[in-house]
Amino acid sequence: MDAAATFRSAVSSLEAGLQQLRQARPDIMFEIQPPPRKLAPYAAAVGATVHDPAPLGGSGSGDRSAAQDGDTEIGWGSFVLLYDPAGQAGWAGPLRMIAYVRAELDPEIAADPLIGQVGWSWLTEALDTGTAGYQRASGTVTRVVTEGFGAKQGQPVSTDFELRASWSPAEPTAPAPGAAYRVPPGLDRHLSAWCDVLCAASGLPPLPAGVSALRPGHSQPQRRKRGP
């Protein structure tokens, strides 16, 4: 299998997972995004916007219009799949995932000195419980405070949570020298793990059983709606 065909196989796995997420999470709007061009020879990207589920009235249709009915955006994210047949420094194999999550937090929650550790644990627990394994995870958790000045002096102070992370899927077996690389199964679960983190940061419940979920027992930050 050549490199292009291998990457298509990986993307097919993600597309299957994306379809499942669209059905399971009507309060999130997913869309295919232009992938970064300079990080690897092959790349694919998915974006997500979390909408306040309250206006949806319990709709379970899972289509894009249902998400758009919730006009209050409370979280954002992106997921990128990279493939470099030659691998890269810091990777564990030819595949690498990059995840980004951003959500508004209550200022009191954002002031918690442990929010970084808690936010990172959302990712590691989602990967631990929902995937077949991962390697060389790295990333950052950032609190972003936005204040208004001048004409915007009366604008309320907003505090955002940001997580940036990357990791490689665990390889089930090391390929024999000279053997063609095979995409590890379950790449869609890594997409679901990213979605779990996005939900946790946005104050939404974890995904339904069978899709992938965070372990219970962790408090979720309080979300704050945009607008009046």
**In-domain check, residue 58:** yes
In whole numbers, what is the pLDDT of the chain averaged over residues? 81
The string of pLDDT tens digits covering residues 157-207 is 778 899 999 999 998 766 666 667 788 889 999 999 999 999 999 888 776
Does the pLDDT of residue 110 top 80, yes or no?
no
Gap between the Cα atoms of 59 and 61, Å rounded: 6
Is 118 within the bounds of a domain? yes
Q: Is residue 227 part of a domain?
A: no
Cα(228)–Cα(220) distance, rounded to whole angstroms?
Answer: 23
Q: Which domain holds residue 34?
A: 3-202
Label residue 172 left, alpha or beta by phi (over 0 means left) and psi (-120 to 50 means alpha).
Answer: alpha
Q: How far is it, in rounded angstroms, from Cα 190 to Cα 95?
A: 12
More confident residue, 217 or 156: 156
* Model confidence pLDDT, tens digit, residues 55-64: 444 444 344 3
Total of domains in the chain: 1
- pLDDT category at 153 given cuts 50, 70, 90 is confident
Residue 189: inside a domain: yes
| Cβ proximity of 189 and 41 under 8 Å | no
Q: Distance between the two ends of the chain, CA-based, in angstroms?
A: 55
Would 208 be classed as within a structural domain? no
Categorise residue 17: left if φ over 0, alpha if ψ from -120 to 50, beta otherwise. alpha
Q: What is the mean pLDDT of residues 101-115?
A: 83
Which H, E and C letters describe 171-191, residue by residue?
CCCCCCCCCCCCCCCCHHHHH
Tell me whether residue 108 is in a domain.
yes
Quote the CA–CA distance of 149 and 161 in Å, as a whole number: 22
Q: Which residue has the tokens 């295919």?
A: 32
